[in-house]
Copies of this chain bind each other. A is one copy, B any other.
Amino acid sequence: MGEQARARRSDAVRNRGRILTAARHLVTERGPQVSMSEIAGHAGVAVGTLYQHFPTKADLVSAVVAEQAGELVDAVVQAWERVRDDHAEPAAELLAFVERVLEAAAVDRAVKAAARSLGAEPEFSDAEARGAAALGHLIDAGRAAGTLRHDLAVSDLYLLVATCPTDQPPEVRRRWLTLVRPGLLRQ
């Protein structure tokens, strides 16, 4: 019985992974209007299994979004670690992070949703808390170095990231970065 339970649980874990992978790919390519049946089909499970793992479609989409948010968190944590270890300059890392989010969101509608959700429910997860902390350190370092705007805050970054023009062509995205840069740097 214990064995069966373990087997079932591992099956369930694998299914959850498959579902998230399929949902990520489909939401990435076609947005959140993909149907649950289609996600189930791509995951190789039945629709019922989707609902076993995620009570509603919104829950599944949120989970996908949270996954992508996790990757952005990793990026900012690494940026902070480079700055902390004196391998990089905070203003450059911050701008690179914004660019990274923008470019990722441009090719991934789930990342876009993730970016928009960032400041919405503050620190709703461990991952986001770690990201917010790293971002805070990065900004503090830049302010201390006098390269970033003197009153810049984490919430400012959330705001800009949430409003970046993800559905525009590359040259437009670059122009947006150019326009926004002076607001982040020391005047």
Per-residue interface assignment for chain A, residues 53 to 91, with 1 indicating a CB less than 8 Å from any chain B CB and 0 otherwise: 000000000000000000000000000000000000000
Cα separation A168 to B179 with both chains bound (whole Å): 21
Cα separation A156 to B165 with both chains bound (whole Å): 12
Complex partner residue of A183 from B155, B164, B180, CB under 8 angstroms: B180
Complex partner residue of A165 from B162, B183, B187, CB under 8 angstroms: B162
| Chain B, residue nearest A116 (CB) | B167
Inter-chain contacts of A156 with B (CB < 8 A)? 175, 179
- A181 engages B179 (CB within 8 Å): no
The minimal Cβ–Cβ distance linking A158 to chain B, given in whole angstroms, is 10
| Chain B, residue nearest A166 (CB) | B163
Enumerate 24 A-B pairs (CB-CB under 8 Å) in ascending A order.
A155-B172, A155-B175, A156-B175, A156-B179, A159-B165, A159-B172, A159-B175, A159-B176, A160-B176, A160-B179, A162-B165, A163-B163, A163-B165, A163-B176, A179-B180, A179-B183, A179-B184, A180-B183, A181-B183, A182-B182, A182-B183, A182-B187, A183-B183, A187-B187
- Across chains A and B, which 5 residue pairs bring their CB atoms closest together, nearest first? A182-B182, A179-B183, A163-B163, A182-B183, A163-B165
